[in-house]
Amino acid sequence: MSGDHPHGEQDHGHGHGHEGSATMASRVAGLVEKLAHKGLVTEEQIDAAIVTFLAKAGPSNGAALVARAWVDPAFKARLLQDGNAALDELGLDMSHWARVTLRAVENTEHVHNVIVCTLCSCYPIALLGPSPSWYKSLAYRARVVRDPRGVLAEFGVELDPRTEIRVWDSTAELRYVVIPRRPAGTQTWTEDELGAAVTRDALIGTAVL
């Protein structure tokens, strides 16, 4: 993996796109109709479940994950090794009906990570809340792959030219979250104070702290 390399590490298929998303939507609608027809669930119950899920989703979850990683090196090692297991430790659930794999990527002095979904807008909603409009825009999805340094500069992130930038492409089955660098001068801060300093954009990689 090299600096400013499109998509960073891409050993997985995206498995979706506009056509794929339309097909999936059709399959989901068909499944809901069958379940409703059999009296197993109603559309109203599904809508209520989604509302409940979204009510618990937000960047404070991702911030709590990062704050714990900053204060607990052993937890950070586990998070980098198995993101889903780390979520379970904190009682967080990134998925709702389907299990989605979480991969955490860590910013360092020499590496900066940024996440995108090039073909649609896959995104860890439970950890970051609803995705911002710019994340879903074609401009971001296309340009951050071709010119990540330029796009980050537009977000106000000016990196050392020697810093390697890795762009991670989310899929329907795989989500990413960025572990930002811990802000300087926070050695005495509590875990809650650290969590309050973490922003959604930092968890995406389009901001630094």
Domains defined along the chain, listed by start: 58-204 (3.90.330.10)
- How far, CA to CA in Å, does 108 sit from each of 1, 111, 181, 189, 205? 15, 5, 6, 20, 12
Q: Is 90 helix (H, G, I), strand (E, B) or coil?
A: helix
> Hunting for tokens 């926070």 — which residue is that?
186
pLDDT for position 120: 83
Structure tokens at 50: 């989604």
> Hunting for tokens 């059999």 — which residue is that?
38
Residue type, 17: G
Structure tokens at 196: 């309050």
d(CA 157, CA 151): 9
pLDDT for position 13: 38
pLDDT in tens, the chain (209 residues): 333 434 543 333 344 444 444 454 565 566 666 766 777 666 665 555 554 454 455 799 999 999 999 999 999 999 999 999 999 999 987 765 557 899 999 999 999 999 999 988 888 888 998 889 999 999 999 999 999 999 999 999 999 999 999 999 999 889 999 999 999 999 999 999 999 999 999 999 999 99
Residues known to be catalytic: 117, 120-122
pLDDT for position 156: 97
pLDDT for position 28: 54
CB neighbours of residue 6 within 10 Å:
14
pLDDT for position 32: 60
Residue pair 177/124 in contact (Cβ under 8 Å)? The answer is: yes
Structure tokens at 70: 């900053």
